[in-house]
Structure 1
Amino acid sequence: MNAAAAAPVAPATPLDNFSNCHEGILRRLTALDELPALLAPAARARQIAEQSLEFFREAIFEHHLEEERELFPAVLASAQPGEEVERVRSMTRRLTDEHRAIERLWKSLERGLKQVAKGQGSELDVGDLQRLVAEYQAHARFEEAEFLPLSETILGRNANHMAALGMSLHMRHAPPVNAYI
């Protein structure tokens, strides 16, 4: 028999309990030391979620509505019959369909974003969030590169048409006049 194997194991002393406790405490403190670095990103996540909830409802939904009620009809009404009006119809259908798709995606994300804004655990679908961002970027690029330049050409042919759109937009954004002043 091996001499080392035959040596008796020293009994644990009361001090061993204190030493072993420190190992666990130090592991926990090392983890706790990570907390300050995590607080700023968590606060930023809450802030982004909160601001996005407000912005999407107040700005993006309103923007879509304004385009569909004001800009698209104005461009369609001013487009030349035939190929141009068909091109405008096709583009406005595409843009309107994209608005609805983006809005559906947003609605599917809204609950999770509200949880993030409150600092709660969330089942936010990251894939849908990334899809929303990508789809809106593509939508904006198409509108900026294709539809808005065409709109400017069409409405620019007649200063009255551009002025009518401007007046319509102004009226939508003007504060209500109090009749009892």
Structure 2
Amino acid sequence: MTICPIVRFPDQRLRQVAAPVTVFDAGLAALAQDILESMRAAPGIGMTGPHIGVGQRVVVLELPDAARPQIYVNPEILWMSDDMIRQEEGSVSMPGVTEDIERAAKVRVQYQDLDGVTHVEEAEGLRAACHQHEIDQLNGLFWLQRLSGLRRRRVMDRYEKLQRRQKELR
């Protein structure tokens, strides 16, 4: 297990579509473990391969109400509810700033486990929002793109100010 450097915004790798996983072996299990350890160190509750510069469709979630971390390989949303919720979101690739994002309140996700076995999961609330957020990332859609232009600019201004402050402290 390795704590990997996190790709920081505005790195263009965060806008690339991740490739499907086709080989289910020890290397995939090691990648999932690296994502988990890197996510914990960040800290975060969800992270993808692209966050550590690996363009593969792997997501790790470790939510407060879960008994253990969960790994989703090649996840895709099969269905989203019409009901919406607002959740505070951010990214390990853009630490220190968050904003409320509106997303479907419930989703049905199909994914594979580390052995390549296909599963379907229904999720709601925070878990549903996390699935949508991380699958967006796998599809090259950074969370800021879900904001209006004005809200995106405000988040960018806060992030740039935070970055300048951190440089001054070094």
When normalised by structure 2's length, the TM-score is 0.28
Which structure has more relative contact order (CA 8 Å, sep 6+)? It is 1
Larger helix proportion of the pair: 1
When normalised by structure 1's length, the TM-score is 0.27
